[in-house]
Structure formats: structure tokens, C-alpha cells
Amino acid sequence: MSQSEQKLLEQLSERDYPHGFESDIEQEIIPKGLSEDTIRFISQRKNEPEWLLQWRLKAYRHWLGMKEPSWQKLIYPPIDYQDISYFAAPKSGPVLNSLDELDPEIKSTYDRLGIPLEEQMMLAGVAVDAVLDSVSVVTTFKEKLAEKNVIFCSISEAVHQYPELVRTYLGTIVPYTDNYFAALNSAVFTDGSFVYIPPGVRCPMELSTYFRINARGTGQFERTLIIACDDSYVSYLEGCTAPKRDENQLHAAVVELVAMDRGEVKYSTVQNWYPGNKEGKGGIYNFVTKRGLCKGTSSKISWTQVETGSAITWKYPSVVLQGDDSRGEFYSVAMTTHLQQADTGTKMIHIGKNTQSRIVSKGISAGRSQNSYRGLVKIRKSAAKARNYSQCDSLLMGNRCGAHTFPYFEIHQPTAIVEHEATTSKIAEDILFYCTQRGLSRESAIAMIVNGYAREVLDHLPMEFAVEARKLLAISLEGSVG
């Protein structure tokens, strides 16, 4: 490292995670620990029907017999599941329909996050569901969505208002037997969003959920379910942040999507959970199961993710291509700095005929971080003429970080066509000199190069979020250049 870089590094590493504040909101938090009683408490607190409680308990009992996965390229101390509080809620009560009813402190929390709920509603025409710790605190734009019979509410509310829909789909795409963290989530999930787009409806606005972990010593276990009926379309975005803490906090979410005939779901994530400090202390453990089912013919599910946060990321948004002619897409930028570790990728399971999938993964590693792409392309015998295209690029900054690619292919159908390309590159000194010679600082040159590198993925985000994601990539790099 040159002297000037060392200087830059020193200056910049003092910069902070901008969302690291903690809000002083009156909260109800249950004592730490996990047992059937904890689950009964959560279920009772949420006034849930018996079937849901029983489902939670089955998941819990199943989980007790499971082992935490160990195949991922992630190193972290054992998680003490008894040392987590499984329910935290602002005291101010039930879900609100308008911002006027919102606790001013909660609202200011979102304002400080740069998520001006009000403004966003007005200008962008985005409907927002805001989840603070375990509960959804506000869902905006309900009336406008109701005109089109679109349902967008918290999953707790949906359990009461639309029990048949929830019961029909919950746990069918990601069953609680799927994996360790999905089982845990099924047992203790507290809130999340529910979306139902009726047949023939194109959702008139972007739907968006912001998740925020605020309370100390808690985990966040949200669950999202999106149903896109025949000939419908929805674009959904989630964003997430958490306060800076020395402790590691667990986030184990489940997202289930289902698309019927010609239905389409576009799901975008900008994940910015607190990544820990530069010595690797603190940060969110992000163990997430996301899966979409292209149930209908010619249906389409597209995942776009920009992952910059979390100390540990374990996440493989997948698509099961069951309907003939269905399409699955995965566009990902995963950036790790300092001591962050990410093991992320996708699974594309081809079952129907003429199904197509496309994977574009861009890993960016800096500092002493480890960044792995892990992807499975499985083409079953039934999937005649299935096609997959995968492109996995890694960009390394400095020589203390690692980038790894683990592609898996299981092809059982001779007419399938599968293409895979992978590259690994560094930001060469020549490129940086070219940019600085034109007047850019090293830092903005790197931000520009990284954004250019990630552009193919960022272009798939809804416009206003693409702008946000670009800034986020640049901010996250600060202090890890070198």
C-alpha cells in the first residue's frame, strides 16, 4: 500500500455506519430464551388462530432435531439461541393506517434512516410497510391499493383478515422442514409483509417494506408472503438497517413468492444491516431463506439484491420453475468490506418445459472480507429445452480479501442448454491512475468503477432505489480502500 493510500485509509476508516443510532421508543420485550412457552406467548400476543400456533409448534419441534448447517464458507462463533429475545414491539399498539397516527419517535427513526415515509408516499407513489423489530408499525397507501383489490398489509393482519389465503400458501414454498433457519423462523416469526395481487391486476405502485432492528438483544424473524395471481404483476422492494451494537444480532427471515399463470413478481432487496465495526465486532447475522415458485405457465420471478450490510450473510434467493415457459432471474451485487463474510447465490430449479433462468452475480470484496458465490442450477428430466445462463464476476480490492465461486450443476435433461461464465478481476493501478489524472479522487474513482462494474445489476432496480443503491455502494467502500 502506498503512503497516500495509507493516509486515505486512516482518514476514512473513522467514518461511521450512518444508520447506527438507537431510537428511544417505549418497548415491550420478552425475556430471552426459546421454548414452547415462548412460541405460545408470541402466538397469543398476536391473537393467532389455533392452526397457526400448532404449525409454529410443529416447526419448533422439528427444529429441535435439526443441526445448524456447516457447509457454507462462513466462520462465526456458535449462536446461543437461548440468549435471544424473540419478541420486541413498540408499546404504542396496533398497526396504523396513516402516518398521522404514528408515534413521532418511530417516525423520526425512519426519517433518520433517510426513509421519509411521507415524502416517499407522495413523490414516488410507493406504498410502504414499515417493520420495527417484531411488528409492522405502519402501512401506507392502503386505500389506493384497495381500489385495485390489491392486498398489502402486515402478515399478522393478514392472518386475521385473509386467513384462507395465508393458510393456503404459508410454508408451501419454504416448508419448515426446508432448513434450520427456516424452521426457526416458522416457529418464532413475528411479522413481515403480505401481498396479494388479484388476477389481471398490475399493481399500480411499487410496494416496499423497510425492516429495522432497534431493540437490544433481540432477533428479527420476519416472514413475507407474496401471491401474484394469473396475469398480474408486482414490484416489491425491501430495505433493512439496524443500530450499531457490539453484540451480534440474528436475523432469520423467510420470503415466499408464488406466481400463477403469466403472473410476475419482481423482488428487489437493498440489504444494509449493520456490518460490524472494522475489527469485526458486532453486526447482524443474516440467515435468510427466499424462494419463489413459478407455479403457472409463462410466469416470471426476478430477484435483484444489493447486499452491503451484515457481518454474516447466508442467503440464496431461488426460483422453482414449475410452470412451462416460466422464467427465473437472479441479479446480485454482494459487497463485503472489513471483516464481513458473505456466502450468497441462488438456486434455479427447472421442472417445466422451456423454462429459462438467468443468473448475474457481482461480488466485490475489500478489506479482509470473504465473499462467496454459491449457486445451483438443477434441470430435472421433465424440463425439456430448459435454458440457463450464469455469469459470476468477482472484483477484489487489495490482497487480504477473498472471493470464491461455487457453482453446482445437476442436469438430467439432454436438451437443456446451460452456460456459465466467471471472471475475477482487480482494480488495476493503471485504471485508478487514469481516473485520478482526470481529476477524480481515488475514492470517487473507486466508487465509480465499482458502480460501473455493478451496473448490469443496478439497472434492474426500480429507478429511485438504484440511485440509493449506488450511493450505498460508495459509502460502504469508504474506509476499506487499499
Partner 1 sequence: MLLEIENLRASIEGKEILKGVNLSVPAGEVHAIMGPNGSGKSTLSSVIAGKDGYETSGSIRFDGQEISDWEPEIRAREGMFLAFQYPVELPGVGLSSFLRACVNERRKHIGQSELDASSFLALMREKAALVELSQDLIRRPVNQGFSGGEKKRNEIFQMAMLDPRMAILDETDSGLDIDALRIVAEGVNKLRNPQRSLLVITHYQRLLEYIVPDRVHVLIDGAIVMSGDRTLALALEEKGYDLVRAEQEVSS
Beta carbon of residue 306, minimum distance to partner 1 (angstroms, whole number): 15
Q: Establish if 416 lies at the interface with partner 1 (CB under 8 A).
A: no
65, 78, 414, 439: which one contacts partner 1 (CB under 8 A)? 439
- Taking the C-alpha atoms of residue 309 and residue 337, their distance in angstroms, rounded to an integer, is 9
30, 57, 431, 475: which one contacts partner 1 (CB under 8 A)? 431
Q: Establish if 430 lies at the interface with partner 1 (CB under 8 A).
A: yes
Beta carbon of residue 446, minimum distance to partner 1 (angstroms, whole number): 11
Residue 216 vs 455, nearer CB to partner 1: 455
Residue 190 vs 361, nearer CB to partner 1: 361
418 strand-pairing partners = 388
Q: Establish if 331 lies at the interface with partner 1 (CB under 8 A).
A: no
Q: Establish if 91 lies at the interface with partner 1 (CB under 8 A).
A: no
Part of the chain binding partner 1 (CB under 8 A), chosen from 47-55, 89-97, 181-189, 449-457: 449-457
- Taking the C-alpha atoms of residue 344 and residue 410, their distance in angstroms, rounded to an integer, is 19
Beta carbon of residue 315, minimum distance to partner 1 (angstroms, whole number): 24
Residues 6+ apart with CB under 8 A from 44: none
- Taking the C-alpha atoms of residue 188 and residue 475, their distance in angstroms, rounded to an integer, is 34
Residues 6+ apart with CB under 8 A from 71: none
Residue 279 vs 430, nearer CB to partner 1: 430
- Taking the C-alpha atoms of residue 264 and residue 325, their distance in angstroms, rounded to an integer, is 13
Beta carbon of residue 442, minimum distance to partner 1 (angstroms, whole number): 8
Part of the chain binding partner 1 (CB under 8 A), chosen from 67-75, 154-162, 344-352, 428-436: 428-436
Q: Residue 259: helix, strand or coil by DSSP? A: strand
Q: Establish if 424 lies at the interface with partner 1 (CB under 8 A).
A: no
Beta carbon of residue 419, minimum distance to partner 1 (angstroms, whole number): 20
Beta carbon of residue 302, minimum distance to partner 1 (angstroms, whole number): 20
- Taking the C-alpha atoms of residue 111 and residue 119, their distance in angstroms, rounded to an integer, is 10
412, 422, 441, 467: which one contacts partner 1 (CB under 8 A)? 441
Q: Establish if 477 lies at the interface with partner 1 (CB under 8 A).
A: no
Which phi and psi angles does 230 have, rounded to 5°?
-50, 135
Q: Establish if 429 lies at the interface with partner 1 (CB under 8 A).
A: yes
Residue 111 vs 456, nearer CB to partner 1: 456
Q: Establish if 399 lies at the interface with partner 1 (CB under 8 A).
A: no
Beta-carbon neighbour count of residue 391 at 10 Å? 16
- Taking the C-alpha atoms of residue 451 and residue 468, their distance in angstroms, rounded to an integer, is 12
Q: Establish if 442 lies at the interface with partner 1 (CB under 8 A).
A: yes
Q: Establish if 12 lies at the interface with partner 1 (CB under 8 A).
A: no
Parallel, antiparallel or unpaired: strands 370-379 and 341-350: parallel
- Taking the C-alpha atoms of residue 257 and residue 290, their distance in angstroms, rounded to an integer, is 8
Beta carbon of residue 176, minimum distance to partner 1 (angstroms, whole number): 41
Give, as ranges, the residues between 143 and 182 that touch partner 1 (CB under 8 A): none
2, 6, 82, 168: which one contacts partner 1 (CB under 8 A)? 2
Q: Establish if 437 lies at the interface with partner 1 (CB under 8 A).
A: yes
Grid cell locating 254: 423467510
Residue 376 vs 431, nearer CB to partner 1: 431
6, 122, 452, 471: which one contacts partner 1 (CB under 8 A)? 452
Beta carbon of residue 474, minimum distance to partner 1 (angstroms, whole number): 12
Residue 251 vs 362, nearer CB to partner 1: 362
- Whether residue 320 contacts residue 350, with contact meaning beta carbons closer than 8 Å, is answered with no
Grid cell locating 118: 411521507
Query: Exposure of 67 by Cβ count < 10 A (0-12 exposed, 13-18 middle, 19+ buried)?
Result: exposed
Strand positions, DSSP E, 107-260: 127-132, 135-139, 151-154, 193-197, 207-212, 223-228, 233-241, 248-251, 254-259
Beta carbon of residue 362, minimum distance to partner 1 (angstroms, whole number): 10
In terms of DSSP H, where are the helices of 367-441?
A: 429-437
CA dihedral for 88, 93, 97, 99, sign (positive or negative): negative
Q: How many CA atoms lie within 13 A of 302 on its CB side?
A: 18
Beta carbon of residue 392, minimum distance to partner 1 (angstroms, whole number): 16
> Which amino acid, one-letter code, is at 301?
I
Q: Establish if 436 lies at the interface with partner 1 (CB under 8 A).
A: yes
Interhelix angle for 429-437 vs 442-458, to 10°? 110
DSSP letter assigned to residue 100: G
Give, as ranges, the residues between 455 and 474 that touch partner 1 (CB under 8 A): 455-456
In the complex, which residues of this chain contact partner 1 (CB under 8 A)?
Answer: 2, 4, 428-431, 433-442, 444, 448-449, 451-456
